[in-house]
Amino acid sequence: MFDEVKKKLSELEGVTKVQIDLELDENGYFDRKCPASDCGAAFKVNFEDWKNIVRDEEVFCPICRHAAEATEWNTLEQLEYIKNFAFSHFQRELAPAFEADARNFNRSQTSKSFIKISLTYKPGNIAIPVPASALEILTQEYTCERCSCSYASLGGAFFCPACGHNSAFDSITNSIETVRKTLVAIPAIRATLQENLDKNAAEDSVRHIYENGLVKIVSAFQRFAEACFKRLSNAASFKVRKNLFQNLKESDELWRAATGTGYTELLDLEEYSCLSLYFQQRHLLAHLDGIVDQAYIDKSGDNRFSVGQRLVISEAGVSDLADITSKLCLELKRLT
């Protein structure tokens, strides 16, 4: 009884390709989402580069470097859009066949039948595809130094989606930039938190953001210094123990031994002693939840706190750390 529908379906079988135009943002960037379940990072790729540079077989997540085929990176909105588009497309294609079948069926019923079955086909509302809404405007844009693919992400990105390349210098610059932008956004973040939580919880979260900023910059610096040191032509002649770059004094000596220039030649005394303090604070935050111990006071000379107190990380401190680290990284890059 569904002859027309069957006919139409077999016609459609050979034509499975339907072009779907997905929305780009105003800069021609294409929303993407990492398919790794514990990452799910949102990012964007310049659409021309997505077509011309990114390969179908392998795309990398800029945040976690998960690799998957090019078809796996749709955002939830895009998946929804594609589903709705496909649904309304087939609904449109099949509607006339359903109507014809219903007419034929009704015609075949004789008026003498005891039971009269009538079939009507009511076309449902054609599903209107919802355009993929643009994700929050992502302001950090990158161009890969190796393959020149342009991409953007909310916060710092580490790997090129097209070739997976990681630039140590870009990574540290991005991490610092992210922390700086977060500091600028603190009043807005605080206001939103106060609206949705209570005042205390909002302050707690803001304190967390400052601590996070400090830890993030120090960790990013360590990674950068390590990668940068490896690029020295004589790097192989130095034995570098694990986590050496977590120790400012030791790594300062290492740089001096390898290049003749240490941190104290690249920074002024005030900057270097502030940097040492921030390194000690990171250690305390990472290992003792920020509770001050005697070792911290001895090593940092920070007398503002006594043993058992908890560190207070200020916005000015994080911002100062961002400035000093930027300067030092630029200088270290020159040494390599």
Subset of residues 176 to 205 that bind Zn ion, contact rule: CB under 5 A? none
Nearest distance from residue 170's CB to Zn ion, in Å?
11
For Zn ion, the closer CB: 59 or 277? 59
Contact window for Zn ion (CB under 5 A) among 54-62, 258-266, 270-278, 280-288: 54-62
Q: How many CA atoms lie within 13 A of 144 on its CB side?
A: 23
- Give CA–CA dist 23/30, Å, rounded: 7
Site string for Zn ion, 16-45 (x = CB under 5 A): ------------------x-x--x-x----
Contact window for Zn ion (CB under 5 A) among 7-15, 55-63, 303-311, 324-332: 55-63
Among 6, 92, 146, 199, binds Zn ion (CB under 5 A): 146
Among 165, 299, 310, 327, binds Zn ion (CB under 5 A): 165
Residue with tokens 């979260």, as numbered in its chain? 205
Among 54, 59, 102, 160, binds Zn ion (CB under 5 A): 160
Provide the token pair at 27.
């800069």
How many residues belong to the site for Zn ion (CB under 5 A)? 16
Among 144, 154, 176, 311, binds Zn ion (CB under 5 A): 144
The three-state DSSP-derived secondary structure of the chain is CCHHHHHHHHHHHCCCCCCCCCCECCCCEEEEECCCCCCCCEEEEEHHHHHHCCCCCCEECCCCCCEECHHHCCCHHHHHHHHHHHHHHHHHHHHHHHHHHHHHHHHHCCCCCCCCCCCCCCCCCCCCCCCCCCCCCCCEEEECCCCCCEEEECCCCCCCCCCCCCCHHHHHHHHHHHHHHHHHHHHHHHHHHHHHCCHHHHHHHHHHHHHHHHHHHHHHHHHHHHHHHHCCCCHHHCCCCCCHHHCHHHHHHHHHHHHCCCHHHHCCHHHHHHHHHHHHHHHHHHHHCCECCHHHHHHHCCCCCCCCCECCCCHHHHHHHHHHHHHHHHHHHHHC
For Zn ion, the closer CB: 51 or 92? 51
Nearest distance from residue 167's CB to Zn ion, in Å?
9
Nearest distance from residue 324's CB to Zn ion, in Å?
30
| Residue 67 found at the interface with Zn ion (CB under 5 A) | no
Contact window for Zn ion (CB under 5 A) among 17-25, 141-149, 150-158, 201-209: 141-149
For Zn ion, the closer CB: 39 or 201? 39
For Zn ion, the closer CB: 90 or 169? 169
Contact window for Zn ion (CB under 5 A) among 9-17, 23-31, 137-145, 219-227: 137-145
Among 68, 70, 82, 147, binds Zn ion (CB under 5 A): 147
Among 61, 179, 202, 209, binds Zn ion (CB under 5 A): 61
Among 42, 102, 138, 162, binds Zn ion (CB under 5 A): 162
Site residues for Zn ion per CB under 5 A:
34, 36, 39, 41, 61, 63-64, 66, 144, 146-147, 149, 160, 162-163, 165
